[in-house]
Amino acid sequence: MPRPSGRRAAVLLGAAVLTALTAACGAAPDEPAAAAGAGGDAKTATSAAAFGGVEDLVAAAEKEGELNVIALPPDWANYGEIIKAFEAKYPKIKIKSENPDASSSDEIAAVKSRKGQDRAPDVLDLGIAFARSGAEEGLFAPYKVEAWDRIPAGQKDADGRWYNDYGGYVSIGCDAKRVPVCPQTFADLLKPEYKGKVALNGNPTKSGSAFGGVYAAALANKGSFGEIQPGIDFFGQLKKSGNFIPVESTPATVEKGETSISIDWDYLNAGYADQFKDKGVDWKVAIPTDGVYAQYYSQAINKDAPHPAAARLWMEFLYSTEGQNLWLKGYARPVLLPAMTTDGTADKGFVAKLPKVEGTPAFPASAELDKAKATLAEKWDKALS
């Protein structure tokens, strides 16, 4: 780079000083108005409109300059790309991603233990039970995104304290190179040819997807949302016949062939199929027709979010067409998928790659879910040991 002559340097320096001075003068009076739009305070804003519109929200969020997220694994439902896309769209907001592999209870614990601190998480991606219990404890700020009306009524809290974001169906992943005929239903799994092959993604008293697997097995065996016992019995039977192996299925065990049949969310199983294609694993995904069970995760805003405007902007981004399609790209089914299929904004290429399933999903009520969990916690050990 050519060195500027003495005079040009002086002019440049003067200009720089002037800019700095005006910037400093301009910043000071803004301070008291931070995080406030035309409609008022971001902390209490219940919608973008109430805050004065999305543009005010963007301005307030950029002033905050940061967003704390927690428990968002980059390789889960395409979260890595979603975070990058948000940062690209709002370059003035930096996302601080904490503990990507945390669980829902870790998230709630972080909200409680860091109340009033700058490091507290702004937004949460929670298992449905934690969204409900957290809302009851008054931990979340009510906020309705612009797409609020298009979220099905069964998948949101009426007050907007939480609403579902994305989800998937319990599916059976299968290594077609090691298993000659891949199982298509829960009933198939009992066949002797699958001895020592069927795994869950962890322990159902801890892992949400394993819990979903037991729930689906219950539905496949004359159980219901309130009656999970047939599902526990089913896995007890699988264990007795030697088909069930209790090792937690992970990308490593899938690739190694140890868990050649893995019951897991369809978006994870479909992701494995991509991930392992070039490693010689032919991973097939089937949604069992006898036990169709879908479960969604929920989004919520921390009531004491240190960056309330950025938190609300993040929500608007997630529930925008762009955000929803990014989840879809990760094989997850975004909550607005039915609405977006109707109005044609869903990315057809991504939709075509989703595992096929018939009908619309049904969801257990809070009381049913609680009962199922209590039964599972009480009976699982005995059935499996």
Partner 1 sequence: MSAPTTTPHPTGTAGGSTTRRRRRGPRTWLAALPLLVFTALCFGIPLGALIFGAVTRTDSGSGVTSLTGEHVARSLQGPYLGSLIGSVQLSVLTALIGAVLGVLIAQAVVTSRSQGLRSAALTASGVLANFGGVPLAFAFIATLGISGVVTQLADLGSLDWDLYSFTGLAVVYLYFLIPLMVLVTVPALDGLRPQWREAAQNAGATPWQFWRHVGLPVLAPSLLGGFVLLFGTAFAAHATAAALVGGSVPLVTLKIADALSGNVLTGQENVALALGLDMILIAGLVMAVYLPLQRRSARWLR
Query: Under the rule (CB under 8 A), what is the footprint of partner 1?
Result: 102-106, 109, 127, 129-130, 133, 136-137, 178, 196-197, 200, 202-208, 210-211, 239, 245-248, 250, 252-253, 256-258, 260, 373, 376-378, 380-382, 384-385
Burial (0-12, 13-18, 19+ Cβ within 10 Å), 236: middle
- Kindly tell me which of 106 and 347 has the beta carbon lying closer to partner 1: 106
| Rounded least distance, CB 210 to partner 1, Å | 8
Answer whether 236's CB lies under 8 Å from 228's CB.
Answer: no
**Residue 265: how many CA atoms within 13 Å on its side-chain side?**
20
- Kindly tell me which of 147 and 254 has the beta carbon lying closer to partner 1: 254
- Kindly tell me which of 5 and 385 has the beta carbon lying closer to partner 1: 385
| Rounded least distance, CB 48 to partner 1, Å | 30
Token duo for residue 177:
């190179």
Cα angle value 313/327/61 (rounded, 5°): 10
- What is the pairing mode between strands 123-126 and 294-302? antiparallel
Helices within 52-207 (DSSP H only): 54-64, 79-89, 104-113, 128-136, 186-189
The count of residues in the chain is: 385
- For residue 148, the tally of other CB atoms under 10 A from its CB is 13
- Kindly tell me which of 55 and 381 has the beta carbon lying closer to partner 1: 381
| Rounded least distance, CB 250 to partner 1, Å | 8
Is residue 358 helix, strand or coil? coil
Torsions phi, psi for 244 (to 5 deg):
-85, 130
- Kindly tell me which of 281 and 309 has the beta carbon lying closer to partner 1: 281
| Rounded least distance, CB 267 to partner 1, Å | 15
- Kindly tell me which of 64 and 165 has the beta carbon lying closer to partner 1: 165
| Rounded least distance, CB 378 to partner 1, Å | 6
| Rounded least distance, CB 89 to partner 1, Å | 30
